[in-house]
Amino acid sequence: MPVLEKDDTQIWRRRTRGQALTHWAGWLIGTAIFVYCWQQISGATTWFFVWDAPRIAGDIWTRATPPRWEYIAQLGRPIWDTLNIATLGTLMALVMAVPVAFLAARNTTPSRLFIRPIALLIIVSTRSINSLIWALLLIAIIGPGVFAGVIAIAIRSIGFCAKLLYEAIEEIDHTQVEAITATGASRWQVMAYGIVPQILPAFAGISVFRWDINIRESTVLGLVGAGGIGLQLQSSLNVLAWPQVSLILLVILAFVVVSEWVSAKVRGAII
């Protein structure tokens, strides 16, 4: 127990002297890094704009209120597009994520040495690139529109779904699989009756969870031209139509809240 000797009495301490020193050194280095980063940011900032910010914020607020309510009539179609981007994107992602997950799970992969690393690479690379970047790329390739948005969401979601799914596959109860194998079932039958029923609840949960995230992401895909309500947001911003911007933001908020509620309900029903 670390103690401090003082006037012949022992006082309890949380750390020994060495521990305390390393602790402080860690804090010192951390603070130094933070200060350096802050200096970099501060150096790249025009501080005049920052001091002026409250006035600008107030100005934008007065321009943006009240929202232009009659504009909502034009938002029906973009919302429908956004919903489609999220839903179809999630479906496509799931179709592609399932095989990737089976190839990546240690207990189902055909080859640990060759195929598993490839599957893991697919998972990492699709997951670490944001859907907006995928959209940017796909617009350059297949042109702007809802379709590019669907594909962007689909690619981005593969990694996420496959990662969670392969972790679920690795955690399955092996005795059930063995029981099915003992009946003389083929490889595919073992898959269908031994593994799939065990991961189905996880699969359903993951799909709904990702769908909820995708709704959020698809609302902003339009900023780069990939369809949905983001297109309206971008065009309103471009012409500085702040009352429209505030209405669109309110609609997006409502949409996201509703999707979160739906996903919570469905997940509650599954679990």
Partner 1 sequence: MSNELHDLLGKGWKKQPFIKRTWLRWTIYAGFVAYLIAAFSTIEVNWSRVYEGLDRGAAFVMAFTRPDFVSRAGDIWTGMAESIVMTVAASVVGIAISIPIGLGAARNIAPLPVYLICRGIVAISRALQEIIVAILLVAIFGFGPLAGFLTLSFATIGFLSKLLAEDIESMDRVQAEAIRASGARWMQWINYGVQPQVMPRLIGLSMYRLDINFRESAILGLVGAGGIGATLNTAFDRYEYDTAAAILILIIVIVMALEYLSGIIRARVQ
Task: Name the residue nearer to partner 1 (CB basis): 181 or 234.
Answer: 234
- Least Å distance, CB 212 to partner 1, is 12
Instruction: Give the residues lining the site for partner 1 (CB under 8 A).
Output: 30, 33-34, 37-38, 40-42, 44-46, 49-50, 53, 56-57, 60, 80-81, 83-84, 87-88, 124-125, 127-130, 132-133, 136-137, 140-143, 145-147, 150, 193, 197, 200, 204, 216-217, 219-220, 223-224, 233, 237, 249, 252-253, 256-257
119 and 109 in contact (C-beta within 8 Å)?
A: yes
Task: Name the residue nearer to partner 1 (CB basis): 102 or 203.
Answer: 203
- Least Å distance, CB 74 to partner 1, is 16
Spatial distance between the Cα atoms of 257 and 254, rounded to a whole number of angstroms = 5
- Least Å distance, CB 44 to partner 1, is 5
DSSP H or E segment with residue 89: helix 76-104
250 and 209 in contact (C-beta within 8 Å)?
A: no
Beta-bridge partners for 153? none
Spatial distance between the Cα atoms of 76 and 2, rounded to a whole number of angstroms = 67
SS3 string, 199-249, reads HHHHHHHHHHHHHHHHHHHHHHHHHHCCCCHHHHHHHHHHCCCHHHHHHHH
- Least Å distance, CB 75 to partner 1, is 15
Spatial distance between the Cα atoms of 142 and 201, rounded to a whole number of angstroms = 36
158 and 90 in contact (C-beta within 8 Å)?
A: no
- Least Å distance, CB 57 to partner 1, is 5
Task: Name the residue nearer to partner 1 (CB basis): 90 or 108.
Answer: 90
Residue 271: count of CB within 10 angstroms of its CB: 9
Task: Name the residue nearer to partner 1 (CB basis): 40 or 107.
Answer: 40
Task: Name the residue nearer to partner 1 (CB basis): 34 or 110.
Answer: 34
- Least Å distance, CB 82 to partner 1, is 11
Task: Name the residue nearer to partner 1 (CB basis): 21 or 57.
Answer: 57
